[in-house]
Amino acid sequence: MTDRNLPLILGDTTLILAQRLAAWCGKGPTLEEDMATTNTALDLLGQARLWLSLAAERAGKGQSEDDLAFHRDADEFRNFLLVEQPNGTYADTITRQYLFDAWHVLYLDMISKHEDAARAEIAAKAVKEVRYHRRRSRDLFVRLGDGTPYSHQLMQAALDNLWPFSGELFSLDAASKALHPLWLDNVAADCRDASLAMPPAQAWMQSGGITGRHSEHLGYILAEMQVLPRNFVGAKW
C-alpha cells in the first residue's frame, strides 16, 4: 500500500460502513439504538466525503467525491474487508463496529499529527466523532457479552466469526502495525469485562480489501448504493 492511497482507503472504508449501518434505519432493536446507529452512519458518511474529496483532488483526474463513490466497480474499492461483512444479527453489527472503532480512534488520533496538513485536519475533526462511536460500541459490546446466556452466545459467535477480518486494519503501513499491541490490550480488557473469550492474537487473518480483492458482499452493497447515479448519469437533486 502506498502512502498516497490512504485517503482513498479511509474514504472507501467509512463509506461502506456507513452504508451497512444505514440499512438498520427503522429496524433497530430499540428507538434509541435505531437513532444512534443512524447517527453513526451519518458521521461516517460525512468523514467519507472528506476523505474521498481529498483522494479525488490528489489524483488530479478531474473527479469528484461522487465519481469515486458511485462510478467505480468493486475491484476499484479499497475498503477493509471487515466493514463489508453482512449486518447479520445486532450482535454481529455491534461486534463489527466495536472492532473497527477500537482501531479507528487509535489510527485517527495518530494521523491527526501527520505532517500532511490536509490529512491531519480531517483526522482531527473525525476523531471527535469516533471517540463517541468507540464509547457506544464498547458499552454495547460489554453489556451484550455479559448479558443473558443468549446474548452472550450471539456475541461470542460474532466475535469468533469477525476476528479473522481484524488483522487487515494493521496492514496499512508500519505506523498502523505499531498500533496492534495497544489495540489487542484494549480489546482483551473489554473482552474480560464482557465475559467473552478473545480469539488468539496470532490467528490466521483475511486480507485483500485494500488492494481491491473483496468478498461477494461488496458487489451487493454497490449495486444498491450506485443504482440511481449509474442509471441517471448527471442527475441532480
In a domain, 236, yes or no: no
How many domains are there within the chain? 1
With a cut of 90, say whether residue 23 has pLDDT above it: yes
Please give the model's pTM, rounded to 2 decimal places: 0.95
pLDDT at 233: 82
- Residue 105 within any structural domain of the chain: yes
Domain of 115, in residue numbers: 3-231
Identify whether 210 is part of a domain.
yes
Portion of the chain with pLDDT greater than 90, in percent: 87
Alpha helices in the chain (DSSP H): 6-22, 31-59, 65-70, 90-111, 117-145, 149-162, 174-178, 180-193, 216-231
pLDDT band for position 25 (cuts 50, 70, 90): very high
- Is the predicted pLDDT of residue 139 greater than 60, yes or no? yes
Length of the chain counted residue by residue: 237
